[in-house]
Amino acid sequence: MMGATSSRPATPSVPGMQGQRPAGVNSDPDVVADPERRKYHRSDCRYTKAEGCERMPRSAARKRSYEPCGICKP
Ligand SMILES: [Zn+2]
């Protein structure tokens, strides 16, 4: 029995994760941290292909004392 009502997966709702971001500019975008070089990158930087890279908010990367990549300037 295939459902005839909807073919889209339901949007997952995460209670408690909304309303913390100021409207307008997103000042805390996701970045990709490279633990080996101790740097973080924009998600489209080519250096994010390295092994062990981990996606996290920029504030989290700074807290872990990662430095911003000089090429993609996250
Ligand atoms: Zn980079």
Q: List Cβ neighbours of 30 (8 Å cut-off, separation of 6 or more).
A: 43, 55, 56, 57, 58
Q: Ligand 1 mean position to 26 CA, how many Å?
A: 19
18's tokens: 């909304």
Q: Ligand 1 mean position to 46 CA, how many Å?
A: 7
Report yes or no on 18 lying in a domain.
Answer: no
Count of structural domains, the chain: 1
Report yes or no on 54 lying in a domain.
Answer: yes
Q: Ligand 1 mean position to 9 CA, how many Å?
A: 33
Q: What is the pLDDT of residue 30?
A: 95
pLDDT tens-digit series, residues 10-64: 776 666 655 555 555 678 999 999 999 999 999 999 999 888 999 999 999 999 9
Report yes or no on 17 lying in a domain.
Answer: no
Alpha helices in the chain (DSSP H): 58-63
The identity of residue 6, as a single letter, is: S
Q: Ligand 1 mean position to 19 CA, how many Å?
A: 30
Give the range of the structural domain holding residue 59, as residue numbers without chain letter. Answer: 30-68
Q: Ligand 1 mean position to 8 CA, how many Å?
A: 35
Report yes or no on 63 lying in a domain.
Answer: yes
Report yes or no on 7 lying in a domain.
Answer: no
